[in-house]
């Protein structure tokens, strides 16, 4: 690391080298010093944020848990889409799936902002009801 930092300092030093060799040495020393300090700071932050092995043993890694959540969400969205009215379907597909803004939905379908917010409110109410039904089952 030290040699690469010295090389980077050499490449980034602008004055002519034979005439300013003493200044270059100071410049390179400062570069190496601060690069080393940054490296040590990053290493310290990395080790502080790591979980100690004795605490990591009870952590369970279940790769299927994420897949099951994905399947539940897909089922919820499919069921929700079947129950949607046309405006709610527009909001669901364009806002959540295509990540369009409320303004672009308004302009594309020539409706007011209030209408789009009403679609959202009705959609979220239906989604909440479906989620509650799935939680009971």
Q: Note the pLDDT tens digit of each residue in 35-65.
A: 778 888 888 888 777 767 666 667 667 777 7
Tokens found for residue 62: 């279940």
- pTM exceeds 0.85 for this model: no
- In contact, 95 and 109? CB cutoff 8 Å: no
- How many other C-beta atoms lie within 10 A of the C-beta of residue 57? 9
In a domain, 21, yes or no: yes
Per-residue pLDDT of the chain (137 residues; tens, 9 = 90+): 555 565 666 666 666 666 666 776 777 777 777 777 888 888 888 877 776 766 666 766 777 777 787 888 888 888 888 888 999 999 988 887 788 899 999 999 999 999 999 999 998 899 888 888 877 76
Same domain, 90 and 128: yes
Residue positions counted in the chain: 137
Same domain, 82 and 46: no
Same domain, 131 and 82: yes
| CATH number of 102's domain | 1.10.10
* Residue 104 structural domain: 72-136
- How many other C-beta atoms lie within 10 A of the C-beta of residue 109? 15
Same domain, 40 and 83: no
- State how many domains the chain has: 2
């Amino acid at each position: 690391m030290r040699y690469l930092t010295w090389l980077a300092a050499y490449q980034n030093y602008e004055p002519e080298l034979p005439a300013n060799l003493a200044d270059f040495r100071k410049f390179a020393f400062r570069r190496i010093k601060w690069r080393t300090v940054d490296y040590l700071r990053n290493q310290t932050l990395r080790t502080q944020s790591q979980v100690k092995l004795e605490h990591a043993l009870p952590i369970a890694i279940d790769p299927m848990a994420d897949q099951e959540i994905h399947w539940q969400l897909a089922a919820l969205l499919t069921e929700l889409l079947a129950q949607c009215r046309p405006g709610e379907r527009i909001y669901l597909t364009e806002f959540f799936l295509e990540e369009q803004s409320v303004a672009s939905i308004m302009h594309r379908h020539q409706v007011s902002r209030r209408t789009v917010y009403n679609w959202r409110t009705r959609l979220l109410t239906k989604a909440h009801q479906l989620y509650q039904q799935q939680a009971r089952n």
